[in-house]
């Protein structure tokens, strides 16, 4: 059984289900907290920033994506056909983790490339957005 718990009724149903389990059999119960993944707006901001860096440095944004993942993320260790591998991905980052990742890129762009990557609430956001959105 897999069930989302979003209300008191859901919780009571799960508790009732567990109480009815036949204790002569073995069961495993796992409860995991559902954390929100990165937001669409975070993802859009990220690719807009990569477009800006691409335009300003001449580096392809897909290559920049790979570079930043390997620079700022901890790899997931996986095994495929008996071969250990490291995978770098932003796909499973929650909103807090993705914000942390974006902060690192923003700092890097500012300090190492002298490129200012504004946030949507910043003063020059509209100008930045209008300039780079057509380059996506």
Number of domains into which the chain is organized: 1
Q: What is the pTM of this model?
A: 0.71
**How would you classify residue 97: left for phi > 0, otherwise alpha for psi between -120 and 50, otherwise beta?**
alpha
Q: Is residue 5 part of a domain?
A: no
Q: Is residue 11 part of a domain?
A: no
Domain that holds residue 83: 40-135
pLDDT of residue 60: 98
Q: What is the pLDDT of residues 25-52, one digit of tens each?
A: 999 988 887 765 567 699 999 999 999 9
Q: What is the pLDDT of residues 46-86, one digit of tens each?
A: 999 999 999 999 999 999 999 999 999 999 999 999 999 99
H helix runs in the chain, sequence order: 8-19, 40-57, 61-72, 95-113, 125-132
């Amino acid at each position: 059984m897999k069930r989302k718990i979003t209300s008191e009724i859901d919780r009571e149903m799960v508790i009732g289900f567990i109480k009815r389990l036949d204790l002569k059999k073995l069961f495993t119960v796992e409860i995991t907290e559902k954390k929100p993944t990165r937001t669409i707006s975070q993802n859009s901001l990220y690719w807009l920033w990569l477009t800006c860096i691409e335009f300003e440095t001449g580096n392809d944004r897909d290559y920049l994506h790979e570079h930043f993942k390997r620079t700022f993320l901890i790899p997931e260790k996986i095994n495929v056909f008996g071969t250990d591998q490291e995978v770098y991905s932003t796909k499973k980052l929650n909103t807090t983790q993705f914000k942390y990742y974006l902060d690192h890129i923003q700092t890097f762009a500012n300090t190492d490339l002298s490129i200012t990557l504004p946030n949507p609430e910043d003063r020059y956001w509209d100008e930045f957005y209008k300039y780079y959105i057509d380059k996506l």
